[in-house]
Amino acid sequence: MNNGFYTPELGQDKPDRIIEARLSRNCYRIKWADADHVAAMEAIKALRIRPSNPDAFVACGGPRDGMLLHAANISPSAHLKLVKAGLVATECLLD
């Protein structure tokens, strides 16, 4: 069973999910492509997830390829809702 967690340092590929996540201090940073914005927002609203940051879901430029992304910070419990729904690919780093 693939729960959406992957470790790039071990050569694992990112699962195909509409939302990507990474642990950032005491919350999760989620992001998704502009093409998936409607589907991601519908899922977030259906799961009753509220972002931690007030400027959430604002479009921003991508870090590598310049594609338009949307991002927000969410709590660990909100992240767990996305994991259980099978909507998020979570990057785990070996630190």
> 45-69: per-residue pLDDT in tens?
999 998 877 666 666 665 556 677 8
Helix (H, G, I), strand (E, B) or coil at 12: coil
Higher per-residue pLDDT: 86 or 66? 86
Return the pLDDT at 2: 66
* Residue 37 lies in domain: 5-91
Q: Using 50, 70 and 90 to split pLDDT, how confident is the model at 1?
A: very low
Task: Decide if pLDDT at 72 tops 70.
Answer: yes
Count of structural domains, the chain: 1
> Does the reported pTM lie above 0.85?
no
User: Is 92:6 a contact under the CB 8 Å cutoff?
Assistant: yes
CA 29 to chain centre: 6
Q: Are 5 and 94 in contact (CB under 8 A)?
A: no
Average pLDDT, the chain: 85
> In CATH, what number is assigned to the domain containing residue 83?
3.30.70
